[in-house]
Structure 1
Protein backbone atom coordinates (compact mmCIF):
# COMPACT_ATOMS: atom_id res chain seq x y z
CA UNK A 1 0.00 0.00 0.00
CA UNK A 2 1.29 3.48 -0.92
CA UNK A 3 1.88 6.19 1.66
CA UNK A 4 -0.73 8.40 -0.03
CA UNK A 5 -3.35 5.63 0.29
CA UNK A 6 -2.60 5.19 3.99
CA UNK A 7 -2.85 8.93 4.61
CA UNK A 8 -6.15 9.21 2.73
CA UNK A 9 -7.70 6.61 5.03
CA UNK A 10 -6.71 8.35 8.28
CA UNK A 11 -8.75 10.79 10.35
CA UNK A 12 -5.63 11.57 12.37
CA UNK A 13 -1.92 11.31 11.69
CA UNK A 14 1.12 11.27 13.95
CA UNK A 15 4.25 13.07 12.71
CA UNK A 16 7.58 12.24 14.40
CA UNK A 17 10.18 14.96 14.81
CA UNK A 18 13.76 14.26 15.88
CA UNK A 19 15.51 17.47 14.76
CA UNK A 20 14.16 21.02 14.65
CA UNK A 21 10.59 19.74 14.81
CA UNK A 22 11.11 18.95 18.51
CA UNK A 23 11.19 22.67 19.36
CA UNK A 24 9.66 24.30 16.28
CA UNK A 25 6.94 22.27 14.60
CA UNK A 26 5.33 25.38 13.00
CA UNK A 27 2.13 23.51 12.15
CA UNK A 28 -1.15 23.02 14.01
CA UNK A 29 -1.48 19.83 16.00
CA UNK A 30 -3.94 18.40 18.52
CA UNK A 31 -1.43 16.97 20.98
CA UNK A 32 2.20 15.90 21.26
CA UNK A 33 4.06 13.10 23.01
CA UNK A 34 7.73 12.52 23.76
CA UNK A 35 8.87 9.05 22.79
CA UNK A 36 11.11 7.10 20.48
CA UNK A 37 11.46 5.01 17.35
CA UNK A 38 13.48 1.79 17.31
CA UNK A 39 15.93 0.72 14.62
CA UNK A 40 17.34 4.18 13.86
CA UNK A 41 20.19 6.41 15.04
CA UNK A 42 20.06 10.21 14.79
CA UNK A 43 23.10 11.47 12.89
CA UNK A 44 24.37 14.91 11.78
CA UNK A 45 25.05 13.52 8.33
CA UNK A 46 22.76 15.65 6.18
CA UNK A 47 23.81 18.91 4.57
CA UNK A 48 21.60 21.98 4.72
CA UNK A 49 21.85 24.77 2.17
CA UNK A 50 18.74 26.71 3.23
CA UNK A 51 17.72 26.65 6.92
CA UNK A 52 21.15 26.29 8.58
CA UNK A 53 23.60 26.77 5.73
CA UNK A 54 24.09 28.02 2.19
CA UNK A 55 25.25 26.55 -1.11
CA UNK A 56 28.72 27.97 -0.38
CA UNK A 57 28.82 26.75 3.24
CA UNK A 58 26.56 23.78 3.96
CA UNK A 59 25.29 23.42 7.50
CA UNK A 60 24.78 20.03 9.13
CA UNK A 61 21.41 18.80 10.35
CA UNK A 62 20.19 15.43 11.54
CA UNK A 63 18.71 12.53 9.69
CA UNK A 64 17.90 8.98 10.74
CA UNK A 65 20.18 6.11 9.81
CA UNK A 66 19.01 2.50 10.04
CA UNK A 67 20.60 0.86 13.06
CA UNK A 68 18.97 -2.29 14.45
CA UNK A 69 20.32 -1.82 17.98
CA UNK A 70 19.45 1.86 18.38
CA UNK A 71 16.51 4.07 19.17
CA UNK A 72 15.98 7.78 18.58
CA UNK A 73 14.02 10.01 20.92
CA UNK A 74 11.92 12.92 19.77
CA UNK A 75 8.37 14.25 19.71
CA UNK A 76 5.35 12.95 17.82
CA UNK A 77 2.55 15.37 16.98
CA UNK A 78 -0.99 14.26 16.29
CA UNK A 79 -2.76 16.19 13.54
CA UNK A 80 -6.47 15.71 12.80
CA UNK A 81 -8.93 16.47 10.03
CA UNK A 82 -7.96 19.53 8.00
CA UNK A 83 -4.77 19.86 10.03
CA UNK A 84 -3.42 16.80 8.19
CA UNK A 85 -3.47 18.36 4.73
CA UNK A 86 -2.26 21.75 5.97
CA UNK A 87 0.56 20.21 7.99
CA UNK A 88 1.71 17.98 5.15
CA UNK A 89 1.70 20.88 2.67
CA UNK A 90 3.89 22.88 5.04
CA UNK A 91 6.21 19.98 5.90
CA UNK A 92 6.59 18.90 2.28
CA UNK A 93 8.01 22.34 1.52
CA UNK A 94 10.09 22.58 4.72
CA UNK A 95 11.45 19.03 4.68
CA UNK A 96 11.17 17.68 1.12
CA UNK A 97 11.60 20.68 -1.18
CA UNK A 98 14.07 22.69 0.94
CA UNK A 99 15.51 19.88 3.04
CA UNK A 100 15.76 16.91 0.69
CA UNK A 101 14.01 14.44 2.98
CA UNK A 102 11.80 11.50 2.05
CA UNK A 103 8.77 10.30 4.01
CA UNK A 104 8.21 6.97 5.69
CA UNK A 105 5.75 5.52 8.22
CA UNK A 106 7.44 3.97 11.26
CA UNK A 107 6.39 2.74 14.69
CA UNK A 108 6.55 5.41 17.42
CA UNK A 109 6.45 4.46 21.11
CA UNK A 110 5.30 7.21 23.51
CA UNK A 111 7.22 7.33 26.79
CA UNK A 112 5.44 5.64 29.67
CA UNK A 113 2.68 4.11 27.55
CA UNK A 114 2.00 0.60 26.37
CA UNK A 115 1.63 0.19 22.64
CA UNK A 116 2.70 2.32 19.73
CA UNK A 117 1.35 4.31 16.80
CA UNK A 118 2.47 4.64 13.20
CA UNK A 119 4.07 8.01 12.64
CA UNK A 120 5.17 9.81 9.52
CA UNK A 121 8.86 10.65 9.57
CA UNK A 122 11.15 12.58 7.21
CA UNK A 123 14.50 10.91 6.49
CA UNK A 124 17.36 12.16 4.32
CA UNK A 125 19.14 9.38 2.45
CA UNK A 126 22.64 9.07 1.06
CA UNK A 127 21.44 9.53 -2.53
CA UNK A 128 20.54 13.15 -1.78
CA UNK A 129 22.99 15.56 -3.48
CA UNK A 130 23.67 17.47 -0.22
CA UNK A 131 23.97 14.38 1.98
CA UNK A 132 27.35 14.67 3.74
CA UNK A 133 27.66 11.35 5.54
CA UNK A 134 29.84 10.45 8.50
CA UNK A 135 32.68 12.56 9.89
CA UNK A 136 34.36 12.91 13.25
CA UNK A 137 32.62 14.86 16.01
CA UNK A 138 35.30 17.55 15.68
CA UNK A 139 34.85 17.90 11.89
CA UNK A 140 31.08 18.11 12.25
CA UNK A 141 31.43 20.65 15.08
CA UNK A 142 33.68 22.90 12.97
CA UNK A 143 31.20 22.83 10.09
CA UNK A 144 28.31 23.60 12.45
CA UNK A 145 30.22 26.41 14.17
CA UNK A 146 30.74 28.36 10.94
CA UNK A 147 27.42 27.77 9.16
CA UNK A 148 24.16 29.70 9.16
CA UNK A 149 21.12 29.98 6.93
CA UNK A 150 17.63 31.49 6.68
CA UNK A 151 16.48 29.92 9.99
CA UNK A 152 19.57 30.98 11.93
CA UNK A 153 22.98 29.76 12.98
CA UNK A 154 23.72 26.06 12.78
CA UNK A 155 25.09 26.06 16.33
CA UNK A 156 21.64 27.13 17.58
CA UNK A 157 20.16 24.02 15.96
CA UNK A 158 22.74 21.81 17.68
CA UNK A 159 22.32 23.43 21.11
CA UNK A 160 18.51 23.42 20.98
CA UNK A 161 18.48 19.73 20.10
CA UNK A 162 20.87 18.92 22.97
CA UNK A 163 18.75 21.04 25.33
CA UNK A 164 15.59 19.19 24.26
CA UNK A 165 17.24 15.86 25.04
CA UNK A 166 18.43 17.01 28.47
CA UNK A 167 15.07 18.53 29.46
CA UNK A 168 12.64 16.05 27.87
CA UNK A 169 14.64 12.81 27.95
CA UNK A 170 17.15 13.23 30.81
CA UNK A 171 17.57 9.47 31.17
CA UNK A 172 18.76 9.11 27.55
CA UNK A 173 22.38 9.66 26.50
CA UNK A 174 22.63 10.50 22.79
CA UNK A 175 26.36 9.91 22.40
CA UNK A 176 26.61 11.29 18.84
CA UNK A 177 24.71 14.48 19.67
CA UNK A 178 26.48 15.18 22.95
CA UNK A 179 29.95 14.50 21.51
CA UNK A 180 29.35 17.05 18.75
CA UNK A 181 27.92 19.54 21.26
CA UNK A 182 31.02 19.15 23.48
CA UNK A 183 33.35 19.59 20.50
CA UNK A 184 31.45 22.69 19.31
CA UNK A 185 31.42 24.29 22.78
CA UNK A 186 35.13 23.57 23.16
CA UNK A 187 35.82 25.17 19.79
CA UNK A 188 33.74 28.24 20.62
CA UNK A 189 35.42 28.55 24.00
CA UNK A 190 38.82 28.43 22.30
CA UNK A 191 37.81 31.05 19.71
CA UNK A 192 36.25 33.41 22.26
CA UNK A 193 38.80 32.77 25.03
Structure 2
Protein backbone atom coordinates (compact mmCIF):
# COMPACT_ATOMS: atom_id res chain seq x y z
CA UNK A 1 0.00 0.00 0.00
CA UNK A 2 1.31 3.39 -0.97
CA UNK A 3 0.39 6.79 0.52
CA UNK A 4 -1.80 7.64 -2.47
CA UNK A 5 -3.84 4.47 -1.84
CA UNK A 6 -5.01 5.68 1.57
CA UNK A 7 -8.47 7.29 1.44
CA UNK A 8 -8.27 11.04 2.00
CA UNK A 9 -10.63 10.84 4.95
CA UNK A 10 -8.48 8.18 6.64
CA UNK A 11 -6.91 9.68 9.76
CA UNK A 12 -5.61 6.49 11.40
CA UNK A 13 -3.88 3.32 10.23
CA UNK A 14 -2.57 0.28 12.11
CA UNK A 15 0.62 -1.42 10.89
CA UNK A 16 1.41 -4.94 12.13
CA UNK A 17 5.01 -6.07 12.53
CA UNK A 18 6.19 -9.62 13.23
CA UNK A 19 9.92 -9.38 12.42
CA UNK A 20 12.33 -6.49 12.90
CA UNK A 21 9.41 -4.06 13.22
CA UNK A 22 8.65 -5.43 16.71
CA UNK A 23 11.82 -3.85 18.12
CA UNK A 24 12.87 -1.37 15.43
CA UNK A 25 9.92 0.40 13.78
CA UNK A 26 11.95 3.56 13.04
CA UNK A 27 8.87 5.65 12.25
CA UNK A 28 6.73 7.93 14.39
CA UNK A 29 3.51 6.43 15.74
CA UNK A 30 0.77 7.33 18.19
CA UNK A 31 0.62 4.07 20.15
CA UNK A 32 1.47 0.38 19.94
CA UNK A 33 -0.22 -2.86 20.97
CA UNK A 34 0.99 -6.44 21.36
CA UNK A 35 -1.27 -8.98 19.70
CA UNK A 36 -1.65 -11.49 16.91
CA UNK A 37 -3.15 -12.26 13.52
CA UNK A 38 -4.83 -15.53 12.57
CA UNK A 39 -4.35 -17.67 9.47
CA UNK A 40 -0.58 -17.19 9.15
CA UNK A 41 2.57 -18.76 10.59
CA UNK A 42 5.91 -16.96 10.87
CA UNK A 43 8.78 -18.65 9.03
CA UNK A 44 12.45 -17.85 8.32
CA UNK A 45 11.90 -18.56 4.63
CA UNK A 46 12.71 -15.19 3.06
CA UNK A 47 16.14 -14.10 1.88
CA UNK A 48 17.76 -10.79 2.80
CA UNK A 49 20.65 -9.54 0.67
CA UNK A 50 20.79 -6.02 2.12
CA UNK A 51 19.97 -5.70 5.85
CA UNK A 52 21.13 -9.05 7.28
CA UNK A 53 23.05 -10.56 4.37
CA UNK A 54 24.53 -9.76 0.98
CA UNK A 55 24.31 -10.96 -2.62
CA UNK A 56 26.78 -13.78 -2.03
CA UNK A 57 25.44 -14.86 1.35
CA UNK A 58 21.77 -13.82 1.78
CA UNK A 59 20.53 -13.88 5.34
CA UNK A 60 17.32 -15.51 6.57
CA UNK A 61 14.46 -13.28 7.78
CA UNK A 62 10.83 -13.99 8.54
CA UNK A 63 7.78 -13.82 6.36
CA UNK A 64 4.23 -15.09 6.77
CA UNK A 65 2.94 -18.35 5.31
CA UNK A 66 -0.78 -19.05 5.12
CA UNK A 67 -1.98 -21.64 7.64
CA UNK A 68 -5.59 -21.56 8.77
CA UNK A 69 -4.73 -23.25 12.08
CA UNK A 70 -1.92 -20.87 12.99
CA UNK A 71 -1.53 -17.41 14.47
CA UNK A 72 1.44 -15.04 14.57
CA UNK A 73 2.22 -12.71 17.44
CA UNK A 74 3.85 -9.33 17.07
CA UNK A 75 3.38 -5.59 17.56
CA UNK A 76 0.93 -3.26 15.86
CA UNK A 77 1.49 0.49 15.60
CA UNK A 78 -1.16 3.15 15.10
CA UNK A 79 -0.08 6.00 12.85
CA UNK A 80 -2.27 9.07 12.50
CA UNK A 81 -2.64 12.08 10.18
CA UNK A 82 0.77 13.04 8.68
CA UNK A 83 2.37 9.97 10.27
CA UNK A 84 0.47 7.76 7.80
CA UNK A 85 2.17 9.11 4.68
CA UNK A 86 5.56 9.40 6.39
CA UNK A 87 5.51 5.83 7.74
CA UNK A 88 4.31 4.32 4.45
CA UNK A 89 6.96 6.13 2.43
CA UNK A 90 9.62 4.87 4.82
CA UNK A 91 8.28 1.30 4.93
CA UNK A 92 7.85 1.16 1.17
CA UNK A 93 11.62 1.59 0.82
CA UNK A 94 12.53 -0.61 3.80
CA UNK A 95 10.13 -3.50 3.20
CA UNK A 96 9.10 -3.36 -0.46
CA UNK A 97 11.98 -1.89 -2.48
CA UNK A 98 14.85 -3.34 -0.41
CA UNK A 99 13.03 -6.24 1.25
CA UNK A 100 10.83 -7.61 -1.50
CA UNK A 101 7.62 -7.63 0.56
CA UNK A 102 4.08 -6.88 -0.58
CA UNK A 103 1.22 -5.49 1.53
CA UNK A 104 -2.02 -7.00 2.73
CA UNK A 105 -4.75 -5.99 5.17
CA UNK A 106 -5.42 -8.37 8.06
CA UNK A 107 -7.41 -8.49 11.28
CA UNK A 108 -5.13 -7.75 14.23
CA UNK A 109 -6.31 -9.02 17.62
CA UNK A 110 -4.78 -7.11 20.57
CA UNK A 111 -3.58 -9.02 23.61
CA UNK A 112 -5.56 -6.50 25.67
CA UNK A 113 -9.02 -8.07 25.82
CA UNK A 114 -10.65 -4.65 26.19
CA UNK A 115 -10.00 -3.94 22.52
CA UNK A 116 -11.67 -5.73 19.62
CA UNK A 117 -10.01 -6.70 16.31
CA UNK A 118 -8.37 -3.91 14.32
CA UNK A 119 -7.77 -3.81 10.59
CA UNK A 120 -4.00 -3.60 10.05
CA UNK A 121 -1.51 -3.37 7.21
CA UNK A 122 1.10 -6.14 7.08
CA UNK A 123 4.11 -6.81 4.85
CA UNK A 124 4.49 -10.34 3.44
CA UNK A 125 7.16 -11.86 1.17
CA UNK A 126 5.76 -14.56 -1.12
CA UNK A 127 7.39 -17.46 -2.95
CA UNK A 128 7.42 -15.61 -6.29
CA UNK A 129 9.92 -13.10 -4.92
CA UNK A 130 13.41 -13.54 -6.47
CA UNK A 131 15.14 -13.57 -3.05
CA UNK A 132 12.63 -15.94 -1.43
CA UNK A 133 14.56 -18.93 -0.05
CA UNK A 134 11.75 -21.23 1.01
CA UNK A 135 11.61 -24.08 3.55
CA UNK A 136 14.67 -25.71 5.10
CA UNK A 137 15.42 -27.63 8.28
CA UNK A 138 16.05 -25.77 11.53
CA UNK A 139 19.73 -26.78 11.39
CA UNK A 140 20.11 -25.56 7.79
CA UNK A 141 18.46 -22.23 8.58
CA UNK A 142 20.59 -21.84 11.72
CA UNK A 143 23.79 -22.57 9.80
CA UNK A 144 22.90 -19.88 7.28
CA UNK A 145 21.98 -17.32 9.96
CA UNK A 146 25.23 -18.02 11.83
CA UNK A 147 27.44 -16.80 8.97
CA UNK A 148 25.44 -13.92 7.49
CA UNK A 149 25.54 -10.18 8.11
CA UNK A 150 24.45 -7.09 6.21
CA UNK A 151 24.15 -3.32 6.37
CA UNK A 152 22.27 -3.25 9.68
CA UNK A 153 24.13 -6.03 11.47
CA UNK A 154 24.52 -9.76 11.90
CA UNK A 155 21.69 -12.13 11.08
CA UNK A 156 22.04 -13.63 14.57
CA UNK A 157 21.05 -10.29 16.14
CA UNK A 158 17.81 -10.35 14.13
CA UNK A 159 17.01 -13.86 15.40
CA UNK A 160 17.89 -13.17 19.04
CA UNK A 161 15.98 -9.87 19.20
CA UNK A 162 12.87 -11.53 17.82
CA UNK A 163 13.13 -14.41 20.31
CA UNK A 164 13.69 -11.94 23.16
CA UNK A 165 10.61 -9.97 22.13
CA UNK A 166 8.47 -13.11 22.26
CA UNK A 167 9.75 -14.07 25.71
CA UNK A 168 9.27 -10.57 27.10
CA UNK A 169 5.90 -9.63 25.59
CA UNK A 170 4.31 -13.01 24.82
CA UNK A 171 5.71 -15.38 27.48
CA UNK A 172 2.69 -17.66 27.22
CA UNK A 173 3.27 -18.30 23.49
CA UNK A 174 5.48 -21.19 22.36
CA UNK A 175 6.86 -20.28 18.94
CA UNK A 176 8.44 -23.65 18.12
CA UNK A 177 9.91 -22.60 14.76
CA UNK A 178 11.58 -19.49 16.17
CA UNK A 179 12.91 -21.05 19.37
CA UNK A 180 14.14 -24.21 17.62
CA UNK A 181 16.24 -22.15 15.22
CA UNK A 182 17.56 -20.04 18.10
CA UNK A 183 18.57 -23.22 19.95
CA UNK A 184 20.25 -24.59 16.81
CA UNK A 185 22.30 -21.39 16.37
CA UNK A 186 23.38 -21.42 20.02
CA UNK A 187 24.35 -25.08 19.65
CA UNK A 188 26.62 -24.19 16.71
CA UNK A 189 28.58 -21.78 18.89
CA UNK A 190 28.64 -24.15 21.87
CA UNK A 191 30.30 -26.74 19.66
CA UNK A 192 32.81 -24.20 18.30
CA UNK A 193 33.68 -22.86 21.75
CA UNK A 194 33.76 -26.23 23.52
CA UNK A 195 37.36 -26.92 24.61
CA UNK A 196 39.11 -29.94 23.15
CA UNK A 197 40.08 -32.43 25.88
CA UNK A 198 42.19 -35.54 25.42
CA UNK A 199 40.71 -37.86 28.01
CA UNK A 200 43.44 -40.44 27.32
CA UNK A 201 46.17 -38.29 28.89
CA UNK A 202 46.44 -38.76 32.69
CA UNK A 203 46.15 -35.48 34.61
CA UNK A 204 49.44 -36.10 36.43
CA UNK A 205 51.43 -37.03 33.32
CA UNK A 206 54.43 -34.71 32.94
CA UNK A 207 55.95 -33.66 29.67
CA UNK A 208 59.51 -34.67 28.81
**TM-score, with structure 1 as normaliser:** 0.96
- Map 1:7-18 to 2 at 5 A: 7-18=7-18
Structure 1 gaps, min length 5: none
Which residue pairs with 1:49 in the alignment?
49
Whether the aligned pair in 1 keeps the contact of 2:59 and 2:155 (CA below 8 Å) is yes
For the structure 1 residues 66 and 78, does the alpha-carbon distance in structure 2 shift closer, same or farther, using more than 3 Å as the test?
A: same
Aligned residues: 192
Of residues 18-27 and 106-115 in structure 1, the stretch that sits farther from structure 2 once superposed is 106-115
Paired position in structure 2 for 1:188? 189
User: What secondary structure is seen at the aligned counterpart in 2 of 1:160?
Assistant: helix
Q: Equivalent residue of 2:191, what SS?
A: helix
Q: Determine if the alignment matches structure 1 residue 153 to structure 2 residue 154.
A: yes
Check conservation: 1:3, 1:104, Cα contact below 8 A: no
Aligned equivalent of 1:30: 30
Whole-Å separation in 1 of the counterparts to 2:192 and 2:164? 22
Larger Rg: 2
Partner Cα distance (1:102, 1:153) in 2: 24
Deviations 1:132-187 (A, max 9, x none): 00000000000000000001000000000000000000000000000100000000
- Any residues of structure 2 matched to 1:102-141 within 5 Å, and which? 102-113=102-113, 114-141=115-142
Aligned to 1:90: 90
Say whether 1:99 aligns with 2:99: yes
Summarize the alignment of residues 174-185 of structure 1 with structure 2, pairs less than 5 Å apart.
174-185=175-186
Task: State the alpha-carbon separation in 2 of the partners of residues 81 and 119 from structure 1.
Answer: 16
Partner of 2:129: helix, strand, or coil? Answer: coil
SS at match of 2:73: strand
TM-score (norm 2): 0.89
CA distance in 2 between partners of 1:120 and 1:9 (Å): 17
Per the TM alignment, residue 112 of structure 1 is displaced from its structure 2 partner at its CA by 2.5
Could you tell me how far apart the structure 1 residues matched to 2:49 and 2:20 are?
A: 15
Q: Output the CA distance in 1 between the equivalents of 2:101 and 2:109.
A: 22
Q: Distance in 1 between matches of 2:178 and 2:167?
A: 11
Q: Hey, what's the Cα distance between the residues in 2 that align with 1:78 and 1:8?
A: 17
Correspondence for 2:204: none
Q: Does the 8 A contact of 2:22 with 2:75 survive in 1?
A: yes
CA gap of 1:3–1:42, structure 2 versus 1, over 3 A, is farther
